[in-house]
Amino acid sequence: MRRRVTLVLACLIVAAPAFFGRESGAGATVIALFGVQNAAGDTEAANTVDQSLRFELTKYGSLLGPERTRDALRRLRIRSGDRAAPALLRLLGEELAADWLISVSLHDTERRMVPRLTMSIRIYSSATGELLSMGFRGGSGIDRRKVLGLGMITELERLVPVVVRDLLEELPTIGETPAPARNQNQRKTRSHLGRVAVVPFTGSTKRRPTFNAETVTEAVRAQLQKTGVDLVSPNLTHEILRLQQSGRWEGVAADTRAALHTDAGADTILTGEVEAYELGGSESEPRPRVAFAIRLLDARTGRILWTGALERNGWEGHNLLGLGRIHSRGALTDRMTEILTRRLDKEYSQRQRD
């Protein structure tokens, strides 16, 4: 009962502008927010994510009402913005007169003694229908714990706004993020990897292998984008997979690879496999374990250019007081993708110089 009362109060506070009949926002940027992709299957958490996002996004621009966005999605028969071709998202942007089209995924949640969740966000440009910025974040109620347990969050509905705020604040600065260029010669990248197409990973975990693979794929995409890699927009990648492999996540067939190279301008292709996405430890001290491998392919020839793998648990590297422990699978995945993509860039660039 206490948790439900907390949720109701939070929703009333956040939804107040909509209640009084106006679409909130103080900036010039017009934002359309899609419904939360609820892979976690937690309806209450997804609703809280939606309300928290709507509150935070008013700091970035003028947010369209959810009914208007839903009606436009229905008219254009768009079930998921992440799987809509760029041309269709451009059409949606024109109909809504929106600048940003935002999609959010809730990957997993835990409602035990220490609440946890993992989520990601994609911001599409209505001008191009392609990815503008994205982020990935995992968190737990114990992350901000201080001496004597002060600062610990014990309810998921109280944790959600904190993770949402952190996720948005860590996004690459929108004003400095270039929209995807249509001409390959116009694109600029700070990476030796060239233009990278990230193909959804496969999963071999004991539970929810496809969902776990989706989570790690998003973490890798977000980390590459954060470091300045020129990414093929994920909805364009999905469109090519749909046409070439009927949308199946079964590696990269030769025809798919060729299409990613010729139609999407990819220089390299990154894919991989998720082998573990687990949670152990105790109720008060959860201990996540994640293992995955990635490989980089030449988009033109299919030749393997680099492979790497990493397996970690959230307690590696902590001190005697437990400081430095990671308690959520999402936060551990985020840290691991940072390590592995940094290793990829360093070793591949060294190979290029040699």
Residue-level pLDDT at 20: 29
Instruction: Between 280 and 176, name the one with better pLDDT.
Output: 280
Residue-level pLDDT at 13: 40
Residue-level pLDDT at 325: 83
Cα separation, 108 vs 110, in Å, equals 7
Torsion angle (degrees, nearest 10) of CA 188, 191, 195, 201: -150
Query: Strands 268-281 and 286-298: what pairing?
Result: antiparallel
Beta-carbon contacts of 292 under 8 Å, excluding residues fewer than 6 positions away, are: 201, 216, 272, 273, 274, 275, 276, 309, 310, 336
Beta-carbon contacts of 30 under 8 Å, excluding residues fewer than 6 positions away, are: 61, 62, 64, 96, 97, 98, 99, 100
Would you state the structure tokens that stand for residue 167, as one six-digit string?
Answer: 């996720």
Please list the alpha-helical segments (H only) found in 156-233.
Answer: 156-169, 209-226
Q: Is the model's pLDDT at 146 over the cut of 70? A: no
Residue-level pLDDT at 175: 44
Percent of the chain whose predicted confidence (pLDDT) is above 90: 65
- Using one digit for the tens of pLDDT, what is the confidence trace for 104-121? 999 999 998 889 999 999
Instruction: Between 100 and 152, name the one with better pLDDT.
Output: 100
Collapsing DSSP to helix, strand or coil, 197 comes out as: strand
Average pLDDT for 30-50: 96
237 and 261 Cβ atoms separated by less than 8 Å: no
Residue 306 DSSP label: E
Looking up tokens 């539970």 gives 207
pLDDT band (50, 70, 90) for residue 250: low
288 and 328 Cβ atoms separated by less than 8 Å: yes
Residue-level pLDDT at 247: 56
pTM for this predicted structure: 0.85
pLDDT band (50, 70, 90) for residue 317: low
Beta-carbon contacts of 192 under 8 Å, excluding residues fewer than 6 positions away, are: 345, 348, 349, 352
Cα separation, 29 vs 61, in Å, equals 5
Cα separation, 117 vs 156, in Å, equals 8
pLDDT band (50, 70, 90) for residue 19: very low
Tell me how crowded residue 9 is: count the other CB atoms within 10 A of its CB: 11
Cα separation, 57 vs 40, in Å, equals 23
